[in-house]
Amino acid sequence: MSRTIIYNIIRFVVVVFVQVFLLKNITLYNLSTPYPYILFVLLLPFETPNLLLFPLAFILGLTIDAFYDTPGLHAAACVVLALVRVMFISITVQKDGFDNEPEPTLSIMGFRWFFTYAIILTVIHHFFLFILEAFTFSSLLFILQRVVTSTIFTVFLMLITGLLFFRKRERK
């Protein structure tokens, strides 16, 4: 097995473990819930084929659903996240000259690109997740508050993770 495959299997297990056993019951004022498990999808290598990306996102979401007792909410939100990831990367990576980079980590892509990437994809994931959870537009203001606060909390945890576990590398 390739080193990248083993590394991503370990990453999958770690993000699911952290999400399920450490962060499952953490909420701030019933508004903000961190979901840093989406970091697995965000950090998959650029050359991951779509035929593999979408099933991986679905399996990740389904695994989280199994522990959260949410029938398919996280799976659907993760598949939407994978779709938006494909579109975002196709728009920004070639335009910004990141063609030869292996994966979208904070240390490789830089703070500005990664922060934009994480914010946009997290907002879309959270919006889709919370809309599916509420299954109504009548409480749209509360849903938007949850999206904003949860996005801030989640992106903060992702940036801390990126700063702690990824060393700074110079781009060529």
Per-residue pLDDT of the chain (172 residues; tens, 9 = 90+): 577 788 889 999 999 999 999 988 888 888 899 999 999 999 998 888 999 999 999 999 999 999 999 899 999 999 999 999 999 988 887 655 555 667 788 777 888 888 999 999 999 999 999 999 988 878 899 999 999 999 999 999 999 988 887 765 544 4
Sign of CA dihedral 21, 45, 47, 88: positive
Separation between Cα atoms, residue 90 and residue 41, nearest integer Å: 15
Separation between Cα atoms, residue 147 and residue 166, nearest integer Å: 27
Contacts of 39 (CB under 8 A, 6+ apart): 15, 158, 161
pTM: 0.89
Strand, coil or helix: 161: helix
Strand, coil or helix: 73: helix
Whole-number pLDDT of residue 150: 95
Residues in the chain: 172
Q: What is the largest CA-CA distance in the chain?
A: 50
